Structure formats: structure tokens, C-alpha cells
């Protein structure tokens, strides 16, 4: 049963977003609410195009400054509403939230070395940090994620390191400023399956050690089952079921969740799961399992 | 590092082959243009014997390959022949006129970079907003309007109406030219320790340089903008935003720097293209440069001078391209490191 006494690190309230001109905007999220408490590992699962990435990119303030994005609702990071977004929010949000991307190699700037980028990351947490201090901390952070020769890694460009190595670098960077929440959008799906599994294991260990909450986005229910404490199932821009991992896997109640679970065995083949056939039942209203209600505290 | 050297030698070799091709082409073209160069040089009053004598002296009646062979032999000794018009060695003429053109083109290139890159960066950074609209308008006007039209516009507005800049020439009449050491006006003024003269020369240089720079400047801004916009879609820019890096840092290190690599190549071509465009600007501003000389000798069918001028301009073009290639290799770590490893 989740610990409801903790104040949420992130709380999303009735988030709606539409893209396009004011007249022809298409709504992609139709009122999403979710929360993550300190130390929790929460998964967001759903088929491709259901709005997982849009949700977390909004939370990171990455979509709001586009002209054709229309946002309603709230994204609370203790006391700050980030729904309006923009670089201002990114700065104020500071390093409470960090993000890991799907393809680690392309998430690193190819024109300068890991060292420079790591400095930028550390500087965003502590503006007055000296170069020497930053380098020392970067080395320590890389050693923590078991990179064999941190000095050499720092002096490499991303394209000189393997995908798995870059993934470790990304995790080290993301956790370097000790964020309260780590968002991982299908981490490592661009890499091969074993490296992906190693990445998730590393992420699990690291966040356990630091007490960082995690919001994991994944297609892969097998991964979710091992990794997450709590799961939100999203279908076409709506959360359709929400419960602890145990509740959801043992007692799936929403037809869409059932269909997703039915697709699991096929994953062992290594490819993506076959998606369930669309069914009108999938539009059924939200099901929330016992003890998993949204927090009632006011955040403003 | 040795591989950068190797690729440099390779490019040098390629440039040499291009030079030989160009020399054959221009050599042949100059000789099939209508009109008898000896007759044009000597004027309508010369006798047929005089014309024949000049033709003989210059081997004009020999078959083309023989003439070309003679030409190659003399080029190998640094002799580009003699102008039929000025009656001086072509190298002397070129040495006199080339520095003014190089100075003009060089300053134009600097203006192109100093103005074009920032416009492009601002456009990309403020995409779809006011600075972007202004930047795009400037670059569009720059690209669409020929250099000589810019020349006339700048002359009229900044020179004639507002009187901020001189309209013509390299120096004011009250200023005496410095002793020609390098041939470059600015450098010679500086060497002569003539501060006021240096400023006067610079003052004269700005309008023609700006007119010549406009098209490349517009192209640079457009390319920088579109390359940066493309880079802005990359995950590492999203990452930089997610971490809340300062806007300027995102623009310069995460947006501009990766975008500079493809931009630089085109920038080099624009720079080299200025050598060709310089003629019209030199004409408009009465600038005593090589391009103007080149056209005069073409109209007079001054064979050796035509070939010499074209070769020198082609060589300058190729040299600029080689320099740009090397720069691209140096700023692109992927190429630099690949070269070091192999
Ligand atoms: N910037 C945008 N402009 C317009 N539409 C967008 C934009 N970003 C996402 N969408 C649309 O929103 C919907 C949800 O996309 P999203 O990327 O969140 O899906 P997802 O659940 O992450 O899918 P996947 O599992 O394939 O990553 C899609 O239909 C997509 O086309
Ligand atoms: Mg996605």
C-alpha cells in the first residue's frame, strides 16, 4: 500500500493540452491527473501515441514555449506551477527534476566533450561551482555509475563511447545534482535489450541509494512489473487505470489494461508487444484501486 | 594530425588539376573570341605589316597546343606574359591591382561573418518572433538584391543623402597615398604610421565592402538560421533546456556550435564568390581593383592579361576553399579525431 503521508514531489492536476491553431487545435491530453511521492517509483504505460511523452515533456517545461501548444491544468513541483512552462520554469524548477532520454548518444552534444557538458549540468545546480570542483564531482559521479575510467570518459566525445556508456553518463548527469524526481522516457530503448536491462538495473540501484523518485515511461510491462511501485495506465490521452503494481497485475479491472497484460507473453520474443485491438470498452471511465486516490492537499 | 596534412596535400593536388583545366579552358576561349588581338592593340591606324609583326612576336599564328606549351613554359618561370594594352608584364599589372581587390573582399568577408552569423543566431533563437522577422527580411533582401544595386543604394543613402561615407575611390584627395610596401592600402598606411590616412582608407572601404558583403551576409544568416533550427530539434538541445541551462548558453553551445559546421562550408563558397562579384562593386565605387582590370582586358582581347587575371582569381578561390576545408576539419571533432586515429 503506498505511503500517503508523504507530500508529493510532482502532482499533475487535470492537465489538458492541445496542439495546433486556436481554431483547429487537436486535444492530445484530456485531463490527466497523477502524482509521485518522495522515493516512489511510478510507471506510466500505454500504447504508442497515447500521450506519455507529451505528459512528461510538459512537466519538464519543454513544450510550452511553442506557439501552437495550448495548456490547461496544473503541474505542481512543491509550490511552483509549471504548467505555463518556459525556460523561466526550467530555471526555477532547478534540479528538483531531471530527465533521461531514449537515445543517450543523441542526447549528448557531439561538438564538445562529456566534461564540458557535465560542467554545464553541475553549474545549473550550483552557479558558482569552480571548474576544478565540477570536474571532481563529475569524476565521482561517473565512478558511482561504474564507469571504469572516469577521466577518460570525461575527455571523450559522446560518439566515441558506446551507447551503454553514454547511458551511464546520462544517469550520472541526471543524478549529479541530487534531484527529487527522475523522469525516464523509455530509457535505452534505442539500445540493445541487454544494455537496456543493465540501464534499468543501474537506475534502480542509484535511485534507491539516493532516495530519488522515478517516473518511468515504458511500453514494456515486464520491465514495469519489476521496477515500479505504482502504475498509471494511459489510453488516448486519458488515465484509464491507476493502482499499485501488485493490484494492477493481479487484478486488472479496466478492459484496456487487461488487453495490455494479455499482450505480455509475446514480449519474450524480444520485439515490441503486439498492441491490443482497439475496442469501445477501452473508453470506459477511470478505475482507481484502493489507497491510490489523488492527494487532497492544496499545492498552490 | 598527419591525416589532416594528408587531406591538405590531397586538396592541394586537386586544386592544381583544377588550375590546369581552367588555364586550358581560358587559354582556348580567349583565342576563339572574335577579333584580332594584335589589330585591337595597335589600333585602326596601324599598317598590316605592323599587325603581322606583332602576331609573329606573340606566336599568334602558331597552332593552339604550341601556343599553350609556350605559355606553360613561361608560367613555370613565373612569367604570365605581357599585356598588349599596358605593354607591361601581366604580373606587374596584377601586383598593382590585386591588393585592392583582396582588401575589399577580405573586409567584406569579415562583415559577412560579423553581421550574418549574429543575425542568423538571433533569428533561430527568437524563431517566429520579432527579431526573426527582421532577420529574415534583411537576409532575403541581401540575397535577392545584386551587389551593384546595393552599391548604388548605399552610395545614395549613406554617401549622398546623409553624407556619412565617401562615394568613390580608395582615399580622399587631400590624403597622400603611402609608399607601396605591400600594396594593401590599410597595411601600407599602418606601416607608414599614418593614423589619419588609415582611418580615411577604412572610411572609403566600408561602403563597397558592405555592398559586396550583402548577398553572402544574407546567405550566411539564412543558413545559420535553418541549420540552427534543425539542431534545435535534436535531443541534446532538449536536454539542455530540461536542465534549465541559460538561454545564451543553449543558443551558442548547443544550437550554434553544431550548426556552424555545415554553415562554414557554404560560407567559404560565398567568400570565394565575392571575388567574382567584386567587379561590379569596383565599377560602381571606382575602386582600382583587379576585377575592373580584368574586364578592361577582356574588352580589349588582351590575351595574356585575360589568362593571367583569370588564373589569379581562380587560385584565390581555390586557396580560400582549402582554408575553409581545413577549418571545417579542425572544428568538427568527428573528422578531426577520425583523422588522428586512422
Ligand atoms: N509537438 C507536437 N505537436 C503536435 N502534436 C504532437 C506533438 N507532440 C506530440 N503530438 C501528438 O500527441 C500524441 C501523443 O504523443 P506522445 O509522443 O506523447 O506519445 P507517446 O505515448 O509518447 O508514444 P510513444 O510510445 O510512441 O513514444 C501523438 O498523437 C502525437 O502525434
Ligand atoms: Mg514517447
pLDDT tens-place string over residues A5-45: 667 889 999 999 999 887 888 999 999 999 999 889 999 99
Contact B235 A112 (CB under 8 A): no
pLDDT of residue B186: 87
| pLDDT of A94 over the 70 cut | no
Out of A258-262, B81-85, B211-215, the most confident range is B211-215
Nearest CA to B277 out of B327, B198, B217, B321 is that of: B217
Of A61, A87, A106, the CB nearest to B236: A106
* Residue tagged 507529451 (cell numbers): A54
pLDDT of residue B340: 45
Report chain B's mean pLDDT, rounded to a whole number.
Answer: 86
Q: Is the CB of A107 under 6 A from ligand 1?
A: no
Cα separation of B233 and A46, whole Å? Answer: 25
- Helices and strands (H and E) in chain A: how many: 10, 11
Cα separation of A43 and A234, whole Å? Answer: 10
pLDDT band of B2, cuts 50, 70, 90: low
* Residue B96, Ramachandran bin (φ over 0: left; ψ between -120 and 50: alpha; else beta): alpha
Mutate to test the interface with A, among B240, B243, B327 (most CBs of A within 10 A): B243
Residues found in chain B:
342
pLDDT band of A214, cuts 50, 70, 90: very high
Q: Is any Cβ of chain B less than 8 angstroms from the Cβ of A265?
A: no
pLDDT band of B177, cuts 50, 70, 90: confident
Which residues does chain A have within 8 Å of residue B234's beta carbon, measured at their own beta carbons? Answer: 106
The closest residue, in CA terms, to atom 16 on ligand 1 is A51
Residue B153: which H helix or E strand, with range?
helix B147-154
CB A248 within 8 A of CB A208: no
The grid coordinates listed for B60 are: 599568334
> Measuring CA to CA, how many Å separate A218 from each of A46, A101, A167, B142?
8, 12, 16, 49
pLDDT of residue A267: 46
Q: Is any Cβ of chain B less than 8 angstroms from the Cβ of A294?
A: no
Cα separation of B159 and B121, whole Å? Answer: 30
Ligand positioned closest to the Cα atom of A68: 1
pLDDT of residue A2: 53
The closest residue, in CA terms, to atom 9 on ligand 1 is A54
* Maximum CA extent, chain B: 85
The grid coordinates listed for A247 are: 493490484
pLDDT band of A138, cuts 50, 70, 90: very high
DSSP state, residue B301: T
What pTM was computed for the model?
0.80
Report pLDDT digits (tens) over A151-175. Answer: 999 999 999 999 889 999 999 999 9
pLDDT of residue A222: 83
| pLDDT of A237 over the 70 cut | yes
CB A140 within 8 A of CB A66: no
Q: Taking the CA atoms of chain B, what radius of gyration do you get in angstroms?
A: 24
Cα separation of A57 and A53, whole Å? Answer: 6
Cβ neighbours for B223, distance < 8 A, ≥ 6 positions apart: B120, B262, B263, B266, B267
Residue A134: which H helix or E strand, with range?
helix A131-144
Size of interface A-B (CB pairs under 8 A): 73
pLDDT band of A54, cuts 50, 70, 90: very high
Which residues does chain B have within 8 Å of residue A93's beta carbon, measured at their own beta carbons? Answer: 244
Of A87, A94, A112, the CB nearest to B241: A87
Cα separation of A72 and A296, whole Å? Answer: 19
Beta bridge partners of A41: A214
pLDDT of residue A241: 92
Mean pLDDT in residue range B44-67: 83
| pLDDT of A299 over the 60 cut | no
Q: Are strands A80-81 and A97-100 parallel, antiparallel or unpaired?
A: unpaired
Q: Is the CB of A102 under 6 A from ligand 1?
A: no
Give the minimum alpha-carbon distance from B334 to chain A in angstroms, rounded to a whole number: 8
pLDDT of residue A269: 47
Give the orientation angle of helix A163-176 with respect to helix A131-144, to 10 degrees.
Answer: 120
pLDDT of residue B295: 82
Report pLDDT digits (tens) over B112-159. Answer: 999 999 999 999 988 888 999 999 999 999 989 888 899 899 989 988
pLDDT band of A294, cuts 50, 70, 90: confident
Q: Is the CB of A28 under 6 A from ligand 1?
A: yes
The ipTM (two decimal places) reads: 0.86
What three-state secondary structure class fits B103?
A: helix
Of A57, A87, A159, the CB nearest to B334: A159
pLDDT band of B237, cuts 50, 70, 90: very high
The grid coordinates listed for B225 are: 538560421
Mean pLDDT in residue range A106-117: 92
The alpha carbon of B312 is separated from its chain's Cα centroid by a whole number of angstroms, namely 11
Q: Is any Cβ of chain A less than 8 angstroms from the Cβ of B39?
A: no
pLDDT of residue B104: 93
The grid coordinates listed for B271 are: 567568400
Give the orientation angle of helix B303-331 with respect to helix B257-284, to 10 degrees.
Answer: 160
pLDDT band of A85, cuts 50, 70, 90: confident
Q: Is the CB of A190 under 6 A from ligand 1?
A: no
Contact A157 B333 (CB under 8 A): yes
Q: Is the CB of A245 under 6 A from ligand 1?
A: no
The closest residue, in CA terms, to atom 14 on ligand 1 is A51
Cα separation of A213 and A41, whole Å? Answer: 6
| pLDDT of A48 over the 80 cut | yes
Give the minimum alpha-carbon distance from A109 to chain B in angstroms, rounded to a whole number: 6
Separation of CA B127 and ligand 2 centre (Å): 25
Q: Is any Cβ of chain A less than 8 angstroms from the Cβ of B257?
A: yes
Q: Is any Cβ of chain B less than 8 angstroms from the Cβ of A222?
A: no
Contact B239 A60 (CB under 8 A): no
Q: Is any Cβ of chain A less than 8 angstroms from the Cβ of B43?
A: no
pLDDT of residue B169: 85
* Residue tagged 515490441 (cell numbers): A272
Nearest CA to A139 out of A95, A172, A97, A102 is that of: A172
Cα separation of A15 and A33, whole Å? Answer: 7
Report chain A's mean pLDDT, rounded to a whole number.
Answer: 85
In A, minimum Cα distance to B261 occurs at A111
Q: Is the CB of A128 under 6 A from ligand 1?
A: no
Q: From A20, A47, A52, A188, give the residue whose CB has the most ligand 1 atoms within 8 Å, as the site to mutate.
A: A52
| pLDDT of A300 over the 60 cut | no
Contact A110 B238 (CB under 8 A): no
In B, minimum Cα distance to A176 occurs at B243
* Phi–psi pair at A103, nearest 5 degrees: -115, 105
Beta bridge partners of A217: A44, A185
* Maximum CA extent, chain A: 60
Separation of CA A51 and ligand 1 centre (Å): 5
Q: Is the CB of A165 under 6 A from ligand 1?
A: no
pLDDT of residue B58: 77
Q: From A17, A32, A43, A54, give the residue whose CB has the most ligand 1 atoms within 8 Å, as the site to mutate.
A: A54
The closest residue, in CA terms, to atom 17 on ligand 1 is A53
Q: How far apart are the first and last CA of chain B?
A: 10
- A25 or A278, which is more confident? A25
Report pLDDT digits (tens) over B278-304. Answer: 888 898 898 888 877 888 888 888 888
Long-range contacts of residues B201-206, Cβ cutoff 8 Å, at least 24 apart = B201/B170, B201/B171, B201/B175, B203/B165, B203/B166, B204/B165, B204/B166, B204/B169, B204/B170, B204/B171, B204/B172, B205/B103, B205/B104, B205/B107, B205/B170, B206/B107, B206/B165
Cα separation of A143 and A164, whole Å? Answer: 15
Residue A241: which H helix or E strand, with range?
strand A238-244
Which residues does chain A have within 8 Å of residue B337's beta carbon, measured at their own beta carbons? Answer: 157, 160
Atom of ligand 1 nearest to the CA of A54: 18
> Measuring CA to CA, how many Å separate B195 from each of A134, A295, B175, B183, B204?
48, 76, 11, 17, 14
| pLDDT of B339 over the 60 cut | no
Using alpha carbons only, what angle is made at residue B157 by residues B154 and B162, rounded to the nearest 5 degrees?
125
Amino acid at each position: 500500500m503506498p505511503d500517503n503521508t508523504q507530500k508529493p514531489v510532482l502532482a499533475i492536476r487535470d492537465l489538458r493540452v492541445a496542439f495546433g491553431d486556436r481554431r483547429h487545435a487537436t486535444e492530445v491530453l484530456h485531463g490527466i491527473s497523477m502524482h509521485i511521492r518522495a522515493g516512489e517509483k511510478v510507471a506510466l504505460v500505454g500504447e504508442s501515441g497515447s500521450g506519455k511523452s507529451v505528459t512528461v515533456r510538459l512537466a519538464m517545461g519543454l513544450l510550452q514555449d511553442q506557439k501552437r501548444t495550448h495548456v490547461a491544468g496544473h503541474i505542481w513541483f512543491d509550490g511552483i506551477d509549471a504548467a505555463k512552462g518556459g525556460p523561466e520554469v526550467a530555471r526555477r524548477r532547478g534540479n528538483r527534476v531531471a530527465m533521461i532520454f531514449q537515445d543517450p548518444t543523441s542526447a549528448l552534444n557531439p561538438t564538445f566533450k562529456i566534461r564540458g557538458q557535465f560542467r554545464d549540468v553541475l553549474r545549473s545546480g550550483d552557479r558558482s561551482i569552480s571548474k576544478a570542483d565540477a570536474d571532481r564531482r563529475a569524476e565521482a559521479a561517473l565512478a558511482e555509475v561504474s564507469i571504469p575510467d572516469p577521466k577518460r570518459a570525461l575527455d571523450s566525445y559522446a560518439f566515441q563511447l558506446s551507447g551503454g556508456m553514454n547511458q551511464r553518463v546520462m544517469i550520472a548527469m541526471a543524478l549529479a545534482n541530487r534531484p527529487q524526481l527522475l523522469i525516464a522516457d523509455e530509457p535505452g530503448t534505442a539500445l540493445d535489450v541487454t544494455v537496456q536491462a543493465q540501464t534499468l538495473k543501474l537506475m534502480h540501484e542509484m535511485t534507491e541509494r539516493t532516495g530519488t523518485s522515478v517516473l518511468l515511461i515504458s511500453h514494456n510491462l515486464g520491465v514495469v512489473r519489476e521496477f515500479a511501485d505504482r502504475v498509471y495506465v494511459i489510453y488516448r490521452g486519458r488515465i484509464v487505470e491507476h493502482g499499485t503494481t501488485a493490484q494492477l497485475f493481479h487484478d486488472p479491472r479496466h478492459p484496456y489494461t487487461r488487453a495490455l497484460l494479455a499482450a505480455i507473453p509475446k514480449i519474450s520474443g524480444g520485439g515490441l508487444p503486439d498492441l491490443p485491438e482497439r475496442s469501445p470498452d477501452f473508453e470506459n471511465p477511470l478505475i482507481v484501486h484502493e489507497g491510490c486516490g489523488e492527494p487532497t492537499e492544496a499545492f498552490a | 594530425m598527419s591525416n589532416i596534412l594528408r587531406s591538405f596535400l590531397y586538396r592541394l593536388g586537386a586544386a592544381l588539376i583544377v588550375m590546369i583545366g581552367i588555364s586550358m579552358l581560358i587559354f582556348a576561349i580567349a583565342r576563339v573570341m572574335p577579333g584580332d588581338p594584335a589589330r585591337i592593340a595597335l589600333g585602326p591606324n596601324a599598317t598590316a605589316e605592323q599587325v603581322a609583326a606583332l602576331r609573329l612576336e606573340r606566336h599568334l599564328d602558331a597552332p593552339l597546343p604550341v601556343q599553350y606549351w609556350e605559355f606553360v613554359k613561361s608560367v613555370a618561370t613565373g612569367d604570365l606574359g605581357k599585356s598588349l594594352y599596358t605593354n607591361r608584364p601581366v604580373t606587374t599589372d596584377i601586383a598593382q591591382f590585386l591588393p585592392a581587390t583582396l582588401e575589399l573582399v577580405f573586409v567584406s568577408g569579415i562583415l559577412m561573418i560579423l553581421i550574418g552569423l549574429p543575425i542568423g543566431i538571433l533569428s533561430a533563437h527568437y524563431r517566429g518572433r520579432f527579431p526573426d522577422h527582421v532577420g529574415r527580411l534583411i537576409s532575403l533582401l541581401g540575397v535577392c538584391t545584386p551587389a551593384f544595386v546595393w552599391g548604388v543604394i548605399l552610395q545614395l543613402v549613406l554617401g549622398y543623402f546623409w553624407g556619412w561615407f565617401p562615394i568613390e575611390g580608395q582615399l580622399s584627395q587631400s590624403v597622400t597615398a603611402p609608399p607601396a610596401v605591400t600594396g594593401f592600402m590599410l597595411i601600407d598606411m599602418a606601416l607608414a604610421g599614418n593614423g589619419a590616412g588609415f582611418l580615411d582608407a577604412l572610411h572609403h572601404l566600408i561602403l563597397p565592402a558592405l555592398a559586396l558583403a550583402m548577398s553572402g551576409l544574407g546567405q550566411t544568416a539564412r543558413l545559420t538560421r535553418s541549420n540552427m533550427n534543425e539542431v534545435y530539434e535534436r535531443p541534446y538541445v532538449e536536454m539542455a533546456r530540461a536542465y534549465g541551462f541559460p538561454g545564451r548558453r543553449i543558443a551558442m553551445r548547443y544550437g550554434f556550435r553544431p550548426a556552424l559546421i555545415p554553415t562554414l562550408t557554404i560560407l567559404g563558397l560565398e567568400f570565394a564568390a565575392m571575388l567574382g562579384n567584386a567587379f561590379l562593386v569596383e565599377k560602381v565605387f571606382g575602386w582600382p581593383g583587379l576585377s575592373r582590370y580584368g574586364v578592361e582586358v577582356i574588352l580589349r582581347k588582351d590575351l595574356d592579361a585575360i589568362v593571367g587575371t583569370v588564373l589569379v582569381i581562380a587560385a584565390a578561390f581555390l586557396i580560400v576553399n582549402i582554408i575553409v576545408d581545413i577549418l571545417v576539419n579542425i572544428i568538427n571533432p568527428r573528422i578531426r579525431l577520425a583523422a588522428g586515429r586512422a
